Copies of this chain bind each other. A is one copy, B any other.
Amino acid sequence: MPVLPSPSLLAVDWGTTALRGALLTADGAVLAERAAPRGLLSIAPGGWAAAFEAEFGPWLAAHPGLVCLMAGMVGSRQGWSEAAYCPCPATLADLAGALLWVQPGRVAIVPGLCTDAQGVPDVMRGEETQVFGALQRLGLVDATLVLPGTHSKWVTVRGGRITGFNTHMTGECYALLRQQSILARTLPADDSAWVAEAFDRGVARALTPGGLLHHLFSVRTLALFDRDDGPALASTLSGLLIGEELRAQALPAGQAVVAVGSPALTARYQRALVLLGHEVHTVGADAGWAGLLALAGRLPQGGTP
């Protein structure tokens, strides 16, 4: 009878709408995983410890001494406990040194990062952990990364240090325009029909003068004149928004990019980036597990701070 390996970390990604957890071995194998629609929005103030025990108490009881590290909105002002943002530049060691232990020696929250450009702050919570995980997977200490999503993050890493980042509200704007604007009237209900060439046209148009607020209206007028059908126009809208993000990001020519996230999302960014002449490496969203494991490796023996 084979001996089951023991877990060395309970890794948790606790976000705005969902929670995911995994029991990881020291070399990153996933022994068990669970997900629940129990994000920040569904947990009443004061209800965090109880929600945590309901989801993960049995695992921790079965593995005495196991440490849990959590990333994401769980550390926000509306979360379990507010973990102050680490300022950039920040290393993995900086994050490990700033863990917020909500149950000493047992459960800690990874702080997010903040940065400041011309007096305007920017923030992330959760992506920092995915970034360090992706770097470790790819063996990189210098990289430009994009983490597409509701609020896409572009992250610069130099010498293993996150030196800066910025956020684009691309996914949220896409959802609003896709579902609730006048454009929605001629678009299909979902994105199941993907038209790659129409996406490419959107990316290319976003790079021409005119501005996003103008280019968006083309989705309306091309429908009015029956020049494109609904599925094509939904793909064009996606291309317009991702193309605008890339236009604004203004990457140096030939800059390689690491795209971290779900395959459906990173595939769109990869396609747009390749159109613009960039080499792209993709890493799945489970890079977050690798990041939490790397953080756990920085803890003092015994796991206590």
How many copies of this protein are present in the complex? 2
Q: Which residues of B sit under 8 angstroms from A181, Cβ to Cβ?
A: 169, 172-173, 176
The answer to whether A169 and B122 touch (CB under 8 A), given A210-B248, A248-B211, is no
A122 touches B217 (CB 8 A): yes
Contacts A181-B176, A205-B120; is A166 near B210 (CB within 8 Å)?
Answer: yes
Give chain B nearest CB distance to A180 CB in angstroms. Answer: 6
**8 Å CB contact of A167 from B120, B169, B214:** B214
Q: How many residues of A contact B (CB 8 A)?
A: 44
Which A residues are within 8 Å of any B CB, using their own CB? 77, 117-118, 120-123, 151-152, 166-170, 172-173, 176-177, 180-182, 205, 208-214, 216-218, 221-222, 224-225, 227, 241, 244-245, 247-250
Q: How far is the CB of A168 from chain B (nearest CB, A)?
A: 4
CB neighbours of A152 from chain B (8 A): 213
- Interface contact A122-B213, CB-CB below 8 Å: no
Chain B positions within 8 Å of A167 at CB level: 214, 217
